[in-house]
A and B are shown apart, each in its own frame.
Chain A
Amino acid sequence: MIAPTATLPRKGLGWYLYGVAAADEASARLGAGLAAGAAQEVELVAEGPLVGVASRVSLEEFDEQALPDRLSDATWLEQKIRTHEHVLERVLEHASVVPCRFGTVYRGEVELRRFLSERGEALEAALDRVRGKVEVGVKAFVDRDRFAAGRARQNDDIRQLEAQASTAEGGRAYLERRRLEQLVASELERFRGEATDRIHTRLMSAAEDGLVLPLQAPELSGRAEEMVFNGAYLVTADRVGFEEALGSLARDIRDDGIDLELTGPWPAYNFVPEELGAG
């Protein structure tokens, strides 16, 4: 699972790289004092036109042997991941940044600088793409009761069944209810199929780029309602146009029982190349 490319010193300090920014933007505006946490200081390692946003970390902590255990430690992992995100958010307030994935550690400053200079062209291209932009997340949740009520207003069959169910008695009332529930369920199924395209198309019209992410399970989303959409968008840093489009979309689908949730601004995790090109 862990592939060391060199024999590691087991002790001492290495460099944890959070992301890469342009030296002229970052150095002037960030200066010193970007603290990742009480114990961790963030430093800007400048190399040519780029700076690496990095912290000294214990090589022991990120050691190949220890890492599987560490990664199984939810407390450790949450703290590290939140630090990673927090540092990049602080940078994002002042400068565009290409975020690295979790766990990017260099043995020494020489290796970190060599990366910044050797992959400088690809890094600058990635930086150009996200300059002046941020990532936002949009999630949509469906409230079943409100969905049924909304559909009843649009769907003659549902309206008719509701009327019949409300006047019917005994066993017939039960059967009408069942038919109504089944009809609402199939409507919801159909809506779910359309929702992705509908929401994504509307939001893409106000974004530079965007993509659909996998849905989150309820135990992760933290909401009881079912998630029907999860997307990420690259938008201008002021977000004005995008938030207008989001507001108008939210009003249009509220009657369908759909609520939108906006997250961010995030560093553009979803809009940087996974692996830097050969250039």
Chain B
Amino acid sequence: MSSRELDDYRSGQPAQLADVLERVLDKGIVIAGDIQINLLDIELLTVKIRLLIASADKARELGIDWWEGDAFLSKGNGHGELEQRLRKLEEAAGLPTSEQQESSD
């Protein structure tokens, strides 16, 4: 087939983030042993990161707010540090914060 025809099947550059994520986070060799950092529970984490990447405001439109009171992400952070950070991010993005949403519920 001609290169002109092929162009019809190629998506534009750069690569869609979803395609990059599905490879870089999910695939490739995982080295265990004398390495320092091991990402465990990668599937669960990836699902969550994908939702976040889909952009926080879009996620809210879709009613996705997994980060609120999430035991998985809060684990080991203690004192709700992550929640606070997310609240800051939400404020910075001009979104209603988790706190506001809780009180309005």
User: Which residues of A does B touch, CB under 8 Å?
Assistant: 1-6, 8, 14, 17, 19, 59, 62, 64, 67-69, 71-74, 77-78, 81-82, 84-85, 98-107, 111, 114-115, 119, 126, 137, 213-214, 216-217, 219-222, 243-244, 246-248, 250, 260-263, 266-267, 269-270, 272-276
Q: Within the assembled complex, what's the spacing in Å between the Cα atoms of A214 and B26?
A: 12
Which of B29, B34, B54, B58 has the most chain A CB atoms inside 10 A of its CB? B29
A219: which B residues are within 8 A, CB to CB? 54, 58, 62
Q: Within the assembled complex, what's the spacing in Å between the Cα atoms of A216 and B19?
A: 9
* Minimum Cβ distance to chain B for residue A92 (Å): 13
Which residues of chain B from 46 to 97 have any CB-CB distance to chain A below 8 Å in the complex?
A: 49-50, 52-56, 58, 62, 67, 72-73, 75-77, 81-82, 85-86, 89
B72: which A residues are within 8 A, CB to CB? 1
- Assuming the contacts A82-B14, A99-B28, asked whether A72 and B52 have C-beta atoms less than 8 A apart, the reply is yes
Q: Within the assembled complex, what's the spacing in Å between the Cα atoms of A78 and B54?
A: 11
Residue from B14, B28, B53 in contact with A269 in the complex, judged by beta carbons closer than 8 Å: B28
Range for the number of chain B residues in contact with chain A: 35 or more
Query: A68 and B31: CB pair below 8 A?
Result: no
* Minimum Cβ distance to chain A for residue B37 (Å): 5
User: Which residues of B does A touch, CB under 8 Å?
Assistant: 1, 5-6, 8-11, 14-42, 45, 49-50, 52-56, 58, 62, 67, 72-73, 75-77, 81-82, 85-86, 89
A84: which B residues are within 8 A, CB to CB? 24
* Minimum Cβ distance to chain A for residue B15 (Å): 6
Q: Within the assembled complex, what's the spacing in Å between the Cα atoms of A275 and B56?
A: 33
Which of B23, B30, B35, B72 has the most chain A CB atoms inside 10 A of its CB? B23
B56: which A residues are within 8 A, CB to CB? 74
- Assuming the contacts A100-B29, A220-B50, A261-B9, asked whether A1 and B23 have C-beta atoms less than 8 A apart, the reply is no
Query: A250 and B18: CB pair below 8 A?
Result: no
Query: A72 and B67: CB pair below 8 A?
Result: yes
A261: which B residues are within 8 A, CB to CB? 9-11
B75: which A residues are within 8 A, CB to CB? 1
Q: Within the assembled complex, what's the spacing in Å between the Cα atoms of A114 and B25?
A: 24
Q: Within the assembled complex, what's the spacing in Å between the Cα atoms of A260 and B85?
A: 41
20 further A-B contacts with Cβ under 8 Å, apart from A67-B37, A72-B67, A263-B10, are A5-B32, A5-B38, A62-B36, A72-B73, A77-B53, A85-B20, A101-B24, A101-B30, A115-B34, A213-B22, A217-B54, A220-B50, A244-B1, A247-B1, A250-B8, A263-B15, A266-B23, A269-B27, A270-B23, A274-B30
Query: B24 and A269: CB pair below 8 A?
Result: yes
- Assuming the contacts A1-B39, A213-B22, asked whether A243 and B15 have C-beta atoms less than 8 A apart, the reply is no
Q: Within the assembled complex, what's the spacing in Å between the Cα atoms of A17 and B37?
A: 12
- Assuming the contacts A243-B6, A247-B1, asked whether A8 and B36 have C-beta atoms less than 8 A apart, the reply is yes
Query: B19 and A137: CB pair below 8 A?
Result: yes
Query: B36 and A275: CB pair below 8 A?
Result: no
Query: Could you name 23 residue pairs across A and B whose Cβ atoms are closer than 8 Å?
Result: A1-B45, A1-B72, A1-B76, A2-B37, A4-B36, A59-B36, A62-B37, A64-B36, A72-B67, A74-B55, A85-B24, A101-B30, A104-B30, A106-B36, A115-B33, A220-B16, A220-B18, A246-B1, A247-B9, A250-B8, A262-B10, A270-B23, A275-B30
